[in-house]
Structure 1
């Protein structure tokens, strides 16, 4: 019963964090990017280009394009994205639809448009990247170019990351050939379009870097050595409550020549404070050594993605 309750609470937390991430993502577009006629990658970028050209709301394009892509993906990829992606698409569509009406225009003018396009590009890109990173870390996705990239990668030996980058670059460059209007209804000149493309590349870089920074930080692991006379009690608590493996090592104090037990624990950096509080509650005098590691591979952590040599040879043939 308790495990079922914890599972439900964990699920609710994940969906709330996905919604929070998408809120930050949409705020970046609504407050900083769209008011400055900026174009980025993904379906949101496609929606922005169509909005500047026709006035069709970004929410409409975002929903229609993602609906079509999800329908195709179900046939090509199978139900691999799951309910969280559908949830994310619906939430993002609703936010794109209603946030522009909720946020006063004078606030957008003061915050989003008064500090120049370059600053708006950087802030909007960072917010978009942070929001996407938070959603992805909880199992969500904004779909869009992710689906296209995965469908192409299924039949062609092209990395998903490169495919997403290629699509984003194509979306940004499309603003050169599509007639676009500014917020006052004036057509953009060629010089202004070139500036839009330049800012678009800066936006893609800021967004991608922030996503990588967030995800690498949330997945970073730490190695903990625990020296304590209450090692058995600490090991039981970490194993039962944290669901992390614990290794017991034999050690000898060189000065005292006494035999001791040392615990070795690998955990995510995000769980470090929880582990430290648990140890302190059992043995406030415990001696700890905490270090960041380059990578941890295996059950409960990351998968080894390097191909074996025989697999590479077969692929070359």
Structure 2
């Protein structure tokens, strides 16, 4: 009886030895996790663009954009609080000194305000160009402030990606002195905000969700006086229920965007996040054009190929 059991065990061991085995290095696992966060950020961003388009179709909510941004960060705070509770919590919450988080929240408030002003004072083409220039601005500010450099291959990849997105998205470049100044300030403050996310994660020795939990609460407090000065408070009782449902869902989706942004920057860099952002913008434009029945020109196709080629080269550099 024992010999039969031993023979069965031996056959089982031999069978297991013949099975294919996949071994993954820690670097491969890390890249897979990075790809998941990038995928979440991209899909959530595309979703919220079309959700916001529906929400801002309401004339009242269109005049309360800062208030809606406050709701997005309040929703982020609520989602992270829920994720940090219970025995199966995703991370351990910690309370950071307000003065340590305040600069990051101030950068966010400036980023939000200046980008809205840039869109209001410039044509859409100039606004899109400013967003594209954020990636080179990140490289420049990192070098000026921290003497950080990147490989030549990555610089070329960034330039190719930005050129491709610019070819597709930028048209009718007409602007003015005030609009140009605001657009330049918006580019600078956006780059600083993204750089400071990565800097604070390292300086404070915290995880991305821990930093975002603290920053989201501080950002809401900073935006309250701005909202009181700029927004017109809507009468929610006359807003259609379907619009309110999209507004509520937009807050949840925004929490995924905010968390994935912090995770991507914390795990990689602000520059990598900008490459992802440029590809997202191109995808959103392409989907919008497709839904509108626009015919892609040769210039559009060349721009798309350049952008995706640059992004692919960046990941391989």
TM over 0.5: no
Structure ranking higher on relative contact order (CA contacts 8 Å, 6+ apart)? 2
Counting strand residues as a fraction of each chain, which structure ranks higher? 1
Counting helix residues as a fraction of each chain, which structure ranks higher? 2
TM-score, reference length from structure 2: 0.29
TM-score, reference length from structure 1: 0.29
| Rg comparison, structure with higher value | 1
